[in-house]
Amino acid sequence: MTISMYAASVPMLKQMLQSLDAILSKAEAHAQAKKIDPAVLLQARLYPDMFPLVRQVQIASDNAKGIAGRLAGVEIPSFADNEQTFEELHARIAKTLDFLNSIKPEQVDGSEERDVVVYKGSPYEMQFKGQTYLVHFGVPNFMFHVTTAYAILRHNGVELGKDDFIGKF
Amino acid sequence: MTISMYAASVPMLKQMLQSLDAILSKAEAHAQAKKIDPAVLLQARLYPDMFPLVRQVQIASDNAKGIAGRLAGVEIPSFADNEQTFEELHARIAKTLDFLNSIKPEQVDGSEERDVVVYKGSPYEMQFKGQTYLVHFGVPNFMFHVTTAYAILRHNGVELGKDDFIGKF
């Protein structure tokens, strides 16, 4: 037996984006309860040359739609990266989930050997086969940004636990 | 076409443990260059009730050997969690990689429907089928701890980039 490329990708991306959405709601509630300007959390970062929370969420969204779109061989929707509020980040995640929900298993299944190009036309262009892209590059990158978003919020005192991170599946 | 449970698990676990090993070497070199007591980095954490670096590495090791062992249906080696130096963490990772290298693809392949129990006998006991365990619980948890180790070191000024995190595959 084996697992399908769809089963190895889209449902997990949805799980973690839903977790991230709920984590952001907790952060928002925390800011409100503690009278913290939401922008302080949205612009918080772990080190001056690391991305702030808002950018971590944007990149997690980019990674999720990039993985699903590239494996399915469909155009990846482009979002403007102009979110400045929790509400706008929730909307960004919702749009990303809408795109993931539009992808049918049969579009992703069979993509193991599909040619995937990342950062196309840039000096950082990388070429993969679908399976290598998903397992060794796409998922680690996506998980990096979801985890870093969580870490930024924990570091700023938002009460979160591993259950919030893993979410529901 | 489909991917095998082995291809979806062990090679990625090895990739990320090797990245973590190289990241720890950079942290060690940073501590030496800046005359920082290595124990300061090893005990660094992002928030008082989060685990310090040394524990993040131990748990990443536990997750990796747990995933491989549970999917392969073999006994998971138990390590004492007594590491106190970078050298001992490198040894811990090496032992974990030795175990992963001892697992043959045919032991993991076909484990999609294998019953997996986590935290057996504890109030937190969870039961899964192999595929759900790997995709929705095992990999997210493992990636959480590898990323948090990286985040702790970045937060403490160790010069690392995404290439260090993704590593070689």
Tell me the β-bridge partners of B129. B115
Q: Which of B109, B144, B157 sits opposite A147 (nearest CB)?
A: B144
pTM of the model: 0.98
- Phi/psi for A3 (5° steps) reads -110, 155
CA–CA separation, A38 vs A54, rounded Å? Answer: 11
Q: Which of B127, B135, B137, B142 is best to mutate for the A interface (most A CBs within 10 A)?
A: B135
A140 and B166 within 8 Å at the Cβ level: the answer is yes
Alpha helices, DSSP H, located in chain A: 10-33, 38-42, 53-72, 86-102, 105-108, 130-132, 139-155, 162-166
The model's pLDDT over B34-46, given as tens digits with 9 standing for 90+, comes to: 999 999 999 999 9
Strands A115-118 and B115-118: unpaired
CA–CA separation, A68 vs A108, rounded Å? Answer: 7
Q: Are B169 and B61 in contact (CB under 8 A)?
A: no
Alpha helices, DSSP H, located in B73-138: 86-102, 105-108, 130-132
Q: Which of A14, A147, A169 is best to mutate for the B interface (most B CBs within 10 A)?
A: A147
B135 and A5 within 8 Å at the Cβ level: the answer is no
| B12 pLDDT higher than 80 | yes
| A91 pLDDT higher than 90 | yes
* Gap from A5 CA to chain B (nearest CA, Å): 6
B151 and A151 within 8 Å at the Cβ level: the answer is yes
Q: Are A19 and A66 in contact (CB under 8 A)?
A: no
B50 and A154 within 8 Å at the Cβ level: the answer is yes
Q: Say which residue the tokens 């060794």 belong to.
A: A136
Does residue A162 form part of some domain?
no
| B129 pLDDT higher than 70 | yes
Does residue A5 form part of some domain?
no
The model's pLDDT over B14-25, given as tens digits with 9 standing for 90+, comes to: 999 999 999 999
Does residue B103 form part of some domain?
yes
Q: Which residues form the domain of A96?
A: 10-157
Does residue B87 form part of some domain?
yes
What's the token pair of residue A103? 């992808």
| B1 pLDDT higher than 90 | no
Does residue A1 form part of some domain?
no
A136 and B15 within 8 Å at the Cβ level: the answer is yes
Q: What is the mean pLDDT of chain A?
A: 97
Q: How confident is the model at residue A1 (pLDDT cuts 50, 70, 90)?
A: low
Q: Are B118 and B133 in contact (CB under 8 A)?
A: yes
Does residue A167 form part of some domain?
no
Domain count, chain A: 1
DSSP states of B10-64: HHHHHHHHHHHHHHHHHHHHHHHHTT--HHHHHT--SSTTSPPHHHHHHHHHHHH
CATH of the domain at A66: 1.20.120.450
Q: Are B154 and A50 in contact (CB under 8 A)?
A: yes
Q: Are A149 and A20 in contact (CB under 8 A)?
A: yes
CA–CA separation, B107 vs A169, rounded Å? Answer: 26
Question: Is A142 in a helix, a strand, or coil?
Answer: helix
Q: How far is residue B23 from each of residues A52, B46, B144, measured CA to CA in Å?
A: 22, 17, 15
Which residues have a Cβ under 8 Å from the Cβ of B123 and sit 6 or more positions away? Answer: none
Q: What is the mean pLDDT of chain B?
A: 97
CA–CA separation, B61 vs B25, rounded Å? Answer: 16
Other Cβ atoms within 10 Å of A106 Cβ, number: 10
Q: Are A133 and B9 in contact (CB under 8 A)?
A: no
- Phi/psi for A149 (5° steps) reads -60, -45
Query: What is chain A's alpha carbon radius of gyration, rounded to the nearest angstrom?
Result: 16
- Region label for B159, one of left (φ > 0), alpha (ψ between -120 and 50) or beta (otherwise): beta
State the DSSP code for A148.
Answer: H
B155 and A11 within 8 Å at the Cβ level: the answer is no
Does any CB of chain A come closer than 8 Å to the CB of residue B110?
Answer: yes
ipTM above 0.95, yes or no: yes
Percentage of chain A modeled with pLDDT above 70: 99
Does residue A164 form part of some domain?
no
Does residue A169 form part of some domain?
no
Q: How many residues does chain B have?
A: 169
